[in-house]
Each structure stands twice: as structure tokens, then as C-alpha cells.
Structure 1
Amino acid sequence: MSNDVKIGLVGFGMRARSLTKVAHRPGLGAVVSDVFDIDQDAARNAGQELGFPVTAHATLEALLAADIDAVLIVTPDHLHVEHSIAALRAGLAVYLEKPMAISAEQCDQILDEARRSRGRLYLGHNMRHMPFVRAMKEIIDSGAIGEPKVAWCRHFVGHGGDYYFRDWHADRRFSSGLLFQKGAHDIDILHWLMGSYSSRVAAMGQLMVYGDNPRRSVEDVETPWRLDDNPLSAWPPAALRELNPVVDVEDSSMVIMTLDNGTMASYQQCHFSPDYWRSYTIIGTEGRIENIGDVEEGTVINVWNKRHYGYEPADLVVPVHPEPGGHGGADARIMDEFLGFARSGGPVETSPIAARYAVAAAEAATQSLRSGGEPRQVPPARQEDVSYFAD
């Protein structure tokens, strides 16, 4: 008899397809057996697209009542609170894709339900499993740069228009803003590397490029570019077609954060950059580190921890090698960890409390940038929730 964890998919979009590639491993630990999506055609066609049989359900309630052990919740962000609470109440192990929700209040509702139901809640912050991030964490923890004091992340979202301005992400009613959808990743990593959460933030941001693009539909052009075409052919950003009818989120944002432990960090995000990667710099009392590249072969971590005049090559260069499984191997690693957590619980690298603070900081920063850069306090998590997940 197989001991595979039986998994149900809640939502069958792009991210669900990626996770299914590493989650479905019949006879080797897990099987994706059931799916629910509000698009019934998508749910019915899931098995054919995935290449193995799944049972499609017409309602979330029907899926949660099926013979499954765990769910992967990969629905649009504004639905996370409803879907995760229902799954926790059903007694299932829950993999909740980041961002946790679109407000700190919604995150607290999810955390409270997990605590009350003694639920197994796991957050899909897969960047904690990216080889380059783990290498940076190991270097910092080794003391190679002394005590970390300041950090920044520059996020060049080269395909931002393709991925985030063609669908619900571009509408703040459903995403709140792209500091949640994309920024939650990096804010969480900045918190993790610096060993503390944001307590106060200030931000500036604008809708600079995609807001005044008049070509929102294919009727106005003879040969519209589509997402399944070569993305490199759509340049400059104004060449994009078929944008979402509503575009009211910022395509460029800059955030300054003061953390609880007195350190500082900044996050800069641009969705019309020609390149697509993240650059982290951490400066400590005895040196600094910086990554060049992130999930591709050739990525390195540069370490400077000797005194220099002007620019000189790094004192130490640490090569980082991506692994199979998507996002440099992070998708496979995070699914391995979740499946072990679904079976028996135990310590994990991701954290529901940390995921909540990433959203809370993103929310405060979004409020700041929409009010002229006014600094905002980040509301702390409830102590009873912190204690539950610490245990």
C-alpha cells in the first residue's frame, strides 16, 4: 500500500502547474489527486494537461471533503484568507502560496485559525530554499562580515509587464499592490538575513510606464504580442499588448525599512527593467557580501572583508550552482520540506509569522507610498500566534 501524501490543488493557474511538477511523485511520497478551480473548464482539463488522472470538483467544499491529506492553495492573493481558513478547518495540511494575504489583518485571521484548530500551516516562500540565498545566509551566520547592520535589495523585474500587468495582479482590489506579490519574497529574505522584522517603513512609488499604454487590447494592432510568444521580442515595454483593463498598481517602488533590532534595509522594485534578477547587498561590521546572478549558472557571492582603496575584486568568491526543479532548485526543496511537514510536522525553514511580517511591511509601505512617503509603523503579530508557531 502506498504511503503517498494525497494532495488537492486549490486553483489551477501558472504557479499550480509549476508546483505540480515537483509535488506529483507517485510511489515516491506524494500524488496530486484532486483539483478545484472557479474556472470549471480549467479544472476539468487539468488531468489532460498534467498527464495523469485527477478528480475535478465543482466547489471548494467538495474538494476539502475528498480523500486527501493536504492542499496546495495557489489561488489569487485576495482569496487566500477564505481558502486557507476553510482548509485548516477541514483538518488538512496547508501549503499556502506567498504572499500570505493582502493585508496584515487577513494574515492574522489565518494565523488565529491555525492556532485555534492546531492546524499545520506552511507558507510557500520558496526563496528561502534558493541556493544563492542559502549561501548568503551561511556566509552571514559564519561571521565572515561581522554583525549585519544594513542591507538592500534591487529587484529587476524584467518580465514584470508580461506577468503582472495582464491579469488581476494589475488591479489593486485583488493584489493590493506589487510590493505584496513580488516584494513579499524579498522583504522576507531581507528580514531573514538581518535576523529581525521591520518595525517602521517609508516608501515612494509610481505607475510610470504601464499606466499610459493606450494599447490595452488586440483590436488596435495588427500583430499583437502574446505571453506564449518569445518574451524577448516584446521591447520596449510600451510594445506590450493586451494589458489588464484595470491597471492601478505601481510599476516602480522604493522602500526604506527600520528593523526591530536597529538595523536598516531597503528594497527597490522595477517592472520595466530589461534584465530579470535580484541583487542583494549586506554590510556588516567587518565586511559586505553581494550576489551577482541568482538562479542561473554562473551565480556567485562576492565577499569583501579586508580594507581596500577604491574598487578591487572580492576577497572571497563563492560560486553557487542551481539545482533541478524550478527557481534554481527551490521548488523541489520547498516541496520536499512541505511533504515532510504534512506527514509529521516539525521544524521548517519557512515561517507563517515571517510571512505575516512580510505582508505587514508591504502593506505599510504601500500605504506610505500612496500618501506621499509618510512613514508608517508595522503592526506587530499577536503574541499568542507567535508562541504557537514557535512551538
Structure 2
Amino acid sequence: MRDDLRIGIVGLGQRSVLADLVHRPGAGSGVTACADPDPTARARAEGRFGSRTHICDSYLALTDRGLDAVIVTTPDHTHEDIIVDFLEAGIAVFAEKPLATSTEACDHILDVARRTRTRLYVGHNMRHLPVVTTMRELIVQGAIGDVQAVWCRHFVGDGGDYYFHDWHADRSKTTGLLLQKGAHDIDVIHWLSGSVSRSVTALGGLMVYGGITDRAHRPGQSVQDWYDRENNWPPRSLRGLNPVIDVEDLSMMLMRLENGTFASYQQCHFTPDYWRNYTVIGTEGRLENFGDEVGARVEVWSRRSGYRATGDRSVAVVDTAGGHGGADVRIMSEFLGFVRDGGPTLTSPVAARDAVAAGCAATASLRAGGSPATVRPTPPEVAEWFADGQA
């Protein structure tokens, strides 16, 4: 049996739950070091990972701890420097999405990974989400012919609780929620259509949360300190928001993809329900998901008719245990295999970069009143190198 992979974790906030999934001492991998500037987060770390885990306040102290890999789940604006430092140290990196908050930062990260030949993996876990993989399989099987259009409506029902109490609400740390939250869906749209965005336009605004004047958020608080689905409703009743709120809570994006497919993405952070709805239209039919985790199904329409609530084919989505319908478990398993052996994965650093590039261009369009924006492609030599699987 191989020795356990030695894993580090930088950032002990909400998404650091991913580290718990790889902490399996004696079974292939274990968290041996972690870093976070927040003393409260550090105090909880020993109980999570054991007394032998090295706990510190600076991620730089982890670069010489003999780690095989590190998981980076820090605020978005910190990703570039942290990821680059670990790549330069020759330590494989799992970067939570989005890879960075600008196209230029993403390109810098990819350049360093290619130059140092250090393995880079980006946490686009929705490529492992059962409802998405079900739709992808149907498309590949030819269930709706050639894809011509993809529509995504993203109802972010807990948006106020998750994104307007802390750093997410500050564009200097996110660029905007069209990128921060939308990176997942933009990547899925690209994956389902088999192409990437080349031209985008967007509209949107700060419709609800900007009018709330109670900005009493205290540094060091986490989502668990304020989240209350039962009582934090309607959205304008929220209190204790972030002092800076300058990101949009409603956005609508149109995309023209390189292969000629058209797509749209709509995001709202004050709906009562929380889920994603995808419609994919091809030359021989269309498919649509109803629900996106437990109990979800995908309906496929392939013959002409009037309104029908169910399609000609109904496919139940099979979830497994773990966060995001089992996607978190699957993505961390894929990451561990990638650290050991390299090779192709469902996720892709280049695709992650392309999602950021589209999200940044759309945010610029939105803030310019909807002016069309061109999405700069990944340099071909970079895309070619990563296509070989970083083996």
C-alpha cells in the first residue's frame, strides 16, 4: 500500500469541508498541515484533523512542510498569490473556484503551472454533480441532436445569507457575483455545449441588498453565525450585512460561443427557492432538469406537440452521499488520483480560466450598460500543454 499523501489546507472557512473528505489517515491521505489567519478557525482545526496536524496563521509556513498537495479555499482575491507560491514550491494545488478574479491572474497561474510542471486542479465540482453529468451523457448519446442553445436560470434563494454578509459583497474581492457565483454555471454551459464563450453582453444591478443600511458584520464571523433560513425572510429584513456592498444581486448574461452555440445565464440572489434550471436545445429535441440534487430528474422532449409537463423520456438523477449530491466526494477522489498519477480529469484548469474570462467580460459589459465584450481565448500553447493531462 502506498504511503498516505500529505495534504495541506489553506483557509479554514466554509469550503474547507473539502479537506475533511481527504483526511483519511492510513487509508491513502491525511491533512498534516493547515493555515488560516483567523484564530477561531485555527482553534477548531485540531479537533478536525488531530493533534499531529501543524497549525499556523500564514500559508507560507506550509511551503516547506513536505506536502504532496495543498487545498486552497481562501477568499477569491487571495488565490493568485497563494496558488503561485505553492506551484513555485513544487506542491500540487487544488484551487477552489473561481481560479482567480481576473483573466490576467488566471493566465499567470497557468503559466507558472506550465513552467514549473506542478500539477494544478480547479474545484469545479459541478462537473461531478449527478444532474449535470446526466445531461452531459444524454447530449453525448445524441438524445437531442447537435446543441444549438443553452439556457440557465440560477435561483440563489439564500443569496443574502451567503453573499452579502461578508467579503463576497465587495467587488474588490470578487470582481462580482456574475463571476464568483456564476463561474460554476458558465463552465457547465461551456461543457454541455462543447465550446467556450467568445462574445458576451450583460445587464444587471443591485436591486435589493443595497438598500439595507444595517451593515454591522463583524470580522471573524462565518456563515453559521448569521444563517437562518426560517427567519431571514423577506430579503429586505436581513441585518448585519457587509459594510461594503457594491456587487449586483441580479444579473443576466448572453453568450455567443466559438462553435456558434448561443447561451444565456440569469442569476438572482433574492428568490425564495434555491436551485439551478438548465434547458439545452438541439437540432432534434431539448432537455431540461427539474431539481438539481436529491429527487431531480431530466426530461427529454423529442417529438412535436403542445405543452407537456413531462417529456418523451424521463431520466431520474441518482445522487450519492456527500455534499452537492455526492459531487464533493467524487471531485476530491479525482483530485487525489490526479496528485498521484496525473492524467486527464473531468475538471480542467483551462476550462476554469475560460469561465473566469467569460465572467469578467460579462461583468465589464454589465457595468458599461450592456456593451458587447470580447472574451480573450486561452493562448493555444497553454491549452495544448494542459490538454495532455499534466502527467
* TM range, smaller chain: over 0.9
**Match status 1:115 vs 2:114:** yes
| Residue 175 of structure 1: aligned partner | 174
Query: What per-residue deviation string (whole Å, max 9, x for no partner) do you get for residues 106-165 of structure 1?
Result: 000000000100110001000000001000000000001000000110000001100100
**Alpha-carbon separation, structure 2, partners of 1:189 and 1:156:** 16
| Residue 299 of structure 1: aligned partner | 296
**Alpha-carbon separation, structure 1, partners of 2:94 and 2:368:** 34
TM-score by length of 1: 0.95
Would you say how many aligned residue pairs link Structure 1 and Structure 2? 384
Q: Is the 8 A contact 1:2 1:27 kept in 2?
A: no
Query: What per-residue deviation string (whole Å, max 9, x for no partner) do you get for residues 66-90 of structure 1?
Result: 0211000111101111011001011
| Alpha-carbon shift at residue 321 of structure 1 (Å) | 2.1
Q: Is the 8 A contact 2:92 2:120 kept in 1?
A: yes
Query: What per-residue deviation string (whole Å, max 9, x for no partner) do you get for residues 176-224 of structure 1?
Result: 10011110000000000000000000000100000011222389xxxxx
What is the one-letter code of the residue matched to 1:322?
Answer: D
Instruction: From the superposition, tell whether residues 58 and 34 of structure 1 become closer, same or farther in structure 2 (CA, over 3 Å).
Output: same
What is the one-letter code of the residue matched to 1:82?
Answer: D
**Match status 1:341 vs 2:338:** yes
| Alpha-carbon shift at residue 373 of structure 1 (Å) | 0.3
**Match status 1:352 vs 2:344:** no
**Alpha-carbon separation, structure 1, partners of 2:88 and 2:216:** 42
**Alpha-carbon separation, structure 1, partners of 2:385 and 2:224:** 46
Q: Is the 8 A contact 1:88 1:114 kept in 2?
A: yes
Q: CA RMSD in A?
A: 1.7
Query: What per-residue deviation string (whole Å, max 9, x for no partner) do you get for residues 224-276 of structure 1?
Result: x9745532221100111110000000000000000000010000000001000
Structure 1 runs of 4+ with >3 Å offset: 49-53, 225-230
Q: Is the 8 A contact 1:191 1:197 kept in 2?
A: yes
Instruction: From the superposition, tell whether residues 229 and 264 of structure 1 become closer, same or farther in structure 2 (CA, over 3 Å).
Output: closer
What is the one-letter code of the residue matched to 1:154?
Answer: R
**Alpha-carbon separation, structure 2, partners of 1:346 and 1:366:** 33
Instruction: From the superposition, tell whether residues 218 and 363 of structure 1 become closer, same or farther in structure 2 (CA, over 3 Å).
Output: closer
| Alpha-carbon shift at residue 23 of structure 1 (Å) | 1.4
| Alpha-carbon shift at residue 40 of structure 1 (Å) | 4.0
Q: Is the 8 A contact 1:162 1:227 kept in 2?
A: no
| Residue 99 of structure 1: aligned partner | 98
TM-score by length of 2: 0.95
Q: Is the 8 A contact 1:255 1:365 kept in 2?
A: yes
| Alpha-carbon shift at residue 312 of structure 1 (Å) | 5.0
Q: Is the 8 A contact 1:216 1:241 kept in 2?
A: yes
**Alpha-carbon separation, structure 2, partners of 1:42 and 1:336:** 25
Q: Is the 8 A contact 2:31 2:49 kept in 1?
A: no
**Alpha-carbon separation, structure 2, partners of 1:176 and 1:218:** 20
Map 1:1-391 to 2 at 5 A: 3-16=3-16, 18-50=17-49, 53-217=52-216, 227-228=225-226, 230-296=228-294, 298-311=295-308, 313-391=310-388
| Alpha-carbon shift at residue 57 of structure 1 (Å) | 2.3
**Alpha-carbon separation, structure 1, partners of 2:275 and 2:309:** 23
Q: Is the 8 A contact 1:197 1:259 kept in 2?
A: yes
Q: Is the 8 A contact 2:150 2:281 kept in 1?
A: yes
Q: Is the 8 A contact 2:38 2:57 kept in 1?
A: no
What is the one-letter code of the residue matched to 1:26?
Answer: P
Q: Is the 8 A contact 1:226 1:241 kept in 2?
A: no
Query: What per-residue deviation string (whole Å, max 9, x for no partner) do you get for residues 366-389 of structure 1?
Result: 000000000000011111211110
**Alpha-carbon separation, structure 2, partners of 1:238 and 1:257:** 31
Q: Is the 8 A contact 2:23 2:49 kept in 1?
A: no
Q: Sequence identity, in percent? A: 54
Name the SS for the 1:234 alignment partner.
coil
Name the SS for the 1:79 alignment partner.
helix
Name the SS for the 1:179 alignment partner.
helix
| Alpha-carbon shift at residue 60 of structure 1 (Å) | 2.0
| Alpha-carbon shift at residue 61 of structure 1 (Å) | 2.0
| Residue 222 of structure 1: aligned partner | none
**Alpha-carbon separation, structure 1, partners of 2:40 and 2:319:** 36
Query: What per-residue deviation string (whole Å, max 9, x for no partner) do you get for residues 341-391 of structure 1?
Result: 001101100000000010000000000000000000001111121111012
- Runs of 5+ in structure 2 lacking a partner? none
**Alpha-carbon separation, structure 1, partners of 2:376 and 2:217:** 44
What is the one-letter code of the residue matched to 1:27?
Answer: G
Q: Is the 8 A contact 1:153 1:268 kept in 2?
A: yes
Q: Which stretch has the larger CA shift, 233-242 or 141-150?
A: 233-242
What is the one-letter code of the residue matched to 1:249?
Answer: V
| Alpha-carbon shift at residue 51 of structure 1 (Å) | 5.7
- Runs of 5+ in structure 1 lacking a partner? 220-224
| Alpha-carbon shift at residue 309 of structure 1 (Å) | 2.5
